[in-house]
Structure 1
Amino acid sequence: MLGIRKAAVPAALCALAFGGSAVAADDNGVGELGARGIVREARDAFGTAGSMHARMTGEGLPDGIPAAWDLRLDDRGRCTGRVWLKPGKAGVEVLRQGEDLWLRPDAEWLAVKFPGLPADVRKALLDGTYLHVPATHPAAAEVAQFCDLDALRGQMRQFPAPTAGTPLDKGGTATVDGTPVVDVSAEQGGTENHVYVATEGTPYPLRTTSTTDDGTMALTITMSEFDEPVTVKPPPAGRTIDLGVAPG
């Protein structure tokens, strides 16, 4: 989810423009470490976060793979936000609580993911009714995976490079959403990966980016609002359609 492999589904990538850095009064000392020390601190901090707001944007991704998502998720199986198959369209609202997933799609998302829906079911969904599916159902797995904080932690443990022997490069300083960060990068399997780690406060990774060497694919994940509460209000039963009623 945090990097691109040419032979696999891409998952997380990169913002290319950042502002200037500044010395913070509550500098956490991470900027003084070497590249591996910075990555170690970022992984440790990320592993303790109980929730976050994560935003992904991608370019040049294969058809059917989400081009963007904007989700708030926690380690108790709660998740809320939106996923888009194309930039700004073919979107679906997502609500997850444990193993239950509710989806409220737009017309283009329905046409791609559930082209065979009966007309009455399609109309109900486009009028604001939610499709209720188990999070483990194949039709929901693509969306549900982005709501899995444990999976995101696992990806972060392998970023910006999954092997200990891969060289890491410490770059310069920048800002992500106004917070000073330091950049660490690695080249892995035809992809250049970057992680931008906060140099003030808790050393969370605030952004990860990946770009294939030929420039055909790119991904950016930006993370914020760590340990903030995630509230999910399931829709009332009268506003849901079970997947068993809506064959895919």
Structure 2
Amino acid sequence: MRIGNVATAVAAASICAALLSGCGGDSGDEDKPFEGQSTDDIAAKAVEATRQAKSVHMKGDTRLEDGSTVTIDVSVDQEKNCQGTIGAGGTRADVRHTDATLYLRGDEQYWQTALKQQPDAARKLTPKLRDKWVKMPANDASTAGVCDKQGFIAALDEDESERRGMQRGSTTEVNGAQALELTKDASGGEKLTLYVATEGEPYILKTTTEGGKNPGSITFGEYGETVAPEQPPAGETVDMKELAGEQRT
């Protein structure tokens, strides 16, 4: 469960200029919770329970290799309804996805950073974009990021071998809920930790990566709660596709 695996997806969603263009066994442990279950089974069940959840709130950050930090604070459901904030490189933006449409609202710094590879577009578009809800193109790749719950979980669990062979740790508390700690020393000096809920569904409550190229942590909570973002008011919305077309004329 490597946090770094989702950094690219989160960064793509937050810097939306791009949008324009124990080894497995451990089954002898008879202590509760998860009595008699191997760590491999516990981790697999945690991933599946999280994947099947109707909705989840995710909050955390990941450091990229260039030293910048990607942040996420988003609630999302199985239908890709989502709302919250995302950020990268010191900038942040509000995000909503509703009625199959993605909206982003960032300040001037956000759009200048997002459009830094297109200086002419940045100069012309930033005044029209800042502090507005920007309706993104329907085929924008960033919708496959944080507003795609299943895609996000798949990215988090991209290499299933990383959650195999974890060691059973102690029971601790994550945001008021009891969790079993599973840990593993991975390549590159990384330490991976998975926190699994011990009561009710075995949801993932937190995952961390310490050391290595992409240290970070994400907490998961508010499982099953309704995510109902409102469509931004028309007077506060601009259409990126229309603006991009105007710049080409």
When normalised by structure 2's length, the TM-score is 0.75
Structure 2 match to 1:227:
224
Could you tell me which amino acid in structure 2 is paired with residue 175 of structure 1? Answer: E
Deviations 1:178-215 (A, max 9, x none): 111111123444232211001122211100111234xx
- CA distance in structure 2 between the partners assigned to 1:63 and 1:164 by the alignment: 24
- CA distance in structure 1 between the partners assigned to 2:155 and 2:144 by the alignment: 15
Secondary structure of 2:201's match? coil
Structure 1 match to 2:132:
129
Structural RMSD (CA): 3.0
| Residue 34 of structure 2 is aligned to residue 30 of structure 1 | yes
Deviations 1:112-138 (A, max 9, x none): 112444667433433x32111125325
Structure 2 match to 1:14:
none
- CA distance in structure 2 between the partners assigned to 1:145 and 1:135 by the alignment: 14
| Residue pair 2:205, 2:219 contacting (<8 A) in 1 also | yes
Structure 2 match to 1:50:
54
| Residue pair 1:83, 1:91 contacting (<8 A) in 2 also | yes
Structure 1 match to 2:23:
none
Secondary structure of 2:232's match? coil
- CA distance in structure 1 between the partners assigned to 2:163 and 2:44 by the alignment: 14
How many residue pairs get matched? 219
Secondary structure of 1:202's match? coil
- CA distance in structure 2 between the partners assigned to 1:52 and 1:133 by the alignment: 23
What's the offset of the Cα at 1:70? 0.3
Structure 2 match to 1:20:
none
Could you tell me which amino acid in structure 2 is paired with residue 233 of structure 1? Answer: E
Secondary structure of 2:47's match? helix
Cα 1:76–1:64 shift into 2, 3 Å: farther
- CA distance in structure 1 between the partners assigned to 2:186 and 2:9 by the alignment: 13
What's the offset of the Cα at 1:172? 1.6
Structure 2 match to 1:211:
210
When normalised by structure 1's length, the TM-score is 0.75
What's the offset of the Cα at 1:169? 1.2
Q: After the TM superposition, which parts of structure 1 deviate over 6 Å for at least 4 consecutive aligned residues?
A: none
Secondary structure of 1:84's match? strand
What's the offset of the Cα at 1:167? 2.3
Among all aligned residue pairs of Structure 1 and Structure 2, give the percentage whose two residues are the same amino acid.
Answer: 24
- CA distance in structure 2 between the partners assigned to 1:197 and 1:208 by the alignment: 9
| Residue pair 2:174, 2:205 contacting (<8 A) in 1 also | yes
- CA distance in structure 2 between the partners assigned to 1:4 and 1:118 by the alignment: 29
Q: Gapped runs of 5+ residues in structure 1?
A: 12-27
Q: Gapped runs of 5+ residues in structure 2?
A: 11-31
Structure 2 match to 1:197:
196
- CA distance in structure 1 between the partners assigned to 2:133 and 2:112 by the alignment: 16
Cα 1:79–1:180 shift into 2, 3 Å: same
| Residue pair 1:90, 1:107 contacting (<8 A) in 2 also | no
Structure 2 match to 1:96:
97
Could you tell me which amino acid in structure 1 is paired with residue 240 of structure 2? Answer: L
